[in-house]
Amino acid sequence: MRKTAIVTGASSGIGAATAKRLAAEGFNVVLAARRRDRLDALSKEITESVPGAGRVAPVTLDVTSQESVDALAAAVDTCHVLVNNAGGAVGLDSVATADLADWQTMYDTNVLGLVRVTKAILPKLIESGGHVVNVTSLAAHVPYEGGGGYNAAKHAAYAVNDVMRLELVAEPVRITEIAPGMVKTEEFSLVRFRGDEERAAKPYEGVPEPLVAEDVADCVAWAVTRPPHVNIDRIDVQPRVQAAPYKLHRE
């Protein structure tokens, strides 16, 4: 019997790569994100190109909407793995110049969205002896200038992750945090800088080999395929040339 994984934020980047990797590991995969056209295309790609792929089900999801999350929960009969990947950064302002609307957006998606989805799916995870994987960031653990809003949101997500592990210790549910450093994806930096391609490219200039989405997907797949009695608490993953969010070797 195939297990079922739900991946939020599955329309691009780490979410899409994780969905592909879990399909390759033998999971049925529920692709959940706002952009249904991208989900449909990804579903077709996985079905046609991943050997032995099981059922792939695209579901339109806005993690900031309780109605949308409730619809996701109603559409899924069982869940063995939930990957809370939806989120992202907006802006790079200092605290003194902070746009509080940006901070609110980051908190709503990275924190409340994670809680909303987990709360809705948790009964199915307890029933299946499942696994929650929360994709945060090294920004959750190491502050950096200009990162106040994102640091705060991801730190809150990290706190929720660890509280869940405490609260669910008597249940057959594993809780894992994946905290990536610099990952070069098609959209993360572009969204952060509101579509400014020149600014979006700058963080990666001179960095010989940043992580790519598949590197993070590999960490997710490894964590969820450990024996049921093994819990991987946290994986910090960054490119070799990165020592901290603010310390990179550039060529």
Q: How far apart are the first and last CA of the chain?
A: 49
- DSSP assigned state of 32: E
Say if residues 27 and 4 touch (Cβ distance below 8 Å).
yes
The Cα-based distances of 69 to 8, 34, 119, 233 in angstroms read 11, 11, 10, 26
* Burial call 207-240: b when 16+ CB within 10 Å, e when fewer: beebbebebbbbbbbebbeeeeeeebebbbbbbe
Strands 242-244 and 247-248 come out as: antiparallel
Catalytic residue among 107, 144, 150, 204: 150
Identify whether 204 is a catalytic site residue.
Answer: no
Q: Which residues are catalytic?
A: 150
